[in-house]
């Protein structure tokens, strides 16, 4: 997972890496999660909308591009 703080950065990174971008205003959130979860070894770019309480098996790496919103987001 790669977390970003802005939609502009998220869209740019997702386009460059060719990975899905999960954000609060996405109309196809479940489809994005399903696409990501079914891929092997892929990344998902996300804002804090995909955050606290997420428990998806197989998540090994989490990268923050920039500073997290707060300690809860980071943990």
Per-residue pLDDT tens over the stretch 6-46: 999 999 999 999 888 998 888 888 888 888 877 766 888 99
> Could you say which DSSP state residue 55 is in?
-
Q: Return the higher-pLDDT residue of 56 and 23.
A: 23
Alpha-carbon distance 12 to 55, whole Å? 26
Strand order in the sheet with 21-22: 21-22, 45-46, 2-3, 63-64
Domain that residue 56 falls in: 2-74
Domain tally, the chain: 1
In angstroms, how far is the first alpha carbon of the chain from the final one?
Answer: 14
* DSSP state letter for 18: T
Q: What is the pTM of this model?
A: 0.77
Q: Are 65 and 2 in contact (CB under 8 A)?
A: yes
Residue 57, pLDDT above cutoff 80: no
């Amino acid at each position: 997972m790669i977390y970003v703080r802005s939609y502009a950065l998220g869209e740019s990174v997702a386009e460059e890496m060719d990975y899905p971008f999960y954000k609060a205003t996405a109309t196809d959130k479940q489809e994005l999660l399903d696409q990501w979860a079914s891929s092997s070894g892929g990344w998902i770019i996300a804002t804090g909308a995909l955050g606290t309480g997420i428990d998806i098996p197989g998540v090994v790496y989490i990268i923050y591009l920039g500073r997290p919103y707060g300690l809860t987001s980071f943990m």
